[in-house]
Amino acid sequence: MIYITQIIYIHEDKEDLFLEFEKHAIPLMNKYNGKLIHRIRPNKESYIDGVDEIPYEIHFISFDSQDDLNCFMKDDSRNDFVHLKNESVRSSRIVIGN
């Protein structure tokens, strides 16, 4: 089992593009045994402490295997909408473990 934590920061005024990307990416993950365990959108009230700005979203995701994750990343249909992510995400931090 592969676990991925992704901390996502988006460009101002690009929320619609990011949400459109998610609308396509999340169902595609299911095709490759991926699961969105948590999708969290923190706000000032829920953010206790930290040295960085509050992220737009935090995702905790799992895939059954590295092969499943690789297949998801290489899926041809993902190329049809990955530009939405590239245009909307300013930066992200990814932690992978198993």
pLDDT computed for residue 51 by the predictor: 87
Q: Are the beta carbons of 41 and 18 closer than 8 angstroms?
A: no
Q: Which residues contact 41 (CB under 8 A, 6 or more apart)?
A: 56, 57, 58
Q: Is 27 helix (H, G, I), strand (E, B) or coil?
A: helix
Beta strands at 89-97 and 57-63: parallel, antiparallel or unpaired: unpaired
Q: Tell me how many degrees the CA angle 71-73-78 measures, rounded to the nearest 5.
A: 105
Does residue 93 register a pLDDT over 90? yes
pLDDT computed for residue 98 by the predictor: 86
- Separation of alpha carbons 98 and 96, rounded Å: 7
- Where along the chain do its domains lie? 1-63
- Separation of alpha carbons 73 and 65, rounded Å: 13
Q: Is 31 helix (H, G, I), strand (E, B) or coil?
A: helix
Q: In this predicted model, what pLDDT tens digit does every residue of 23-79 receive, in sequence order?
A: 999 999 999 999 999 999 999 898 888 888 999 999 999 999 999 999 999 999 998
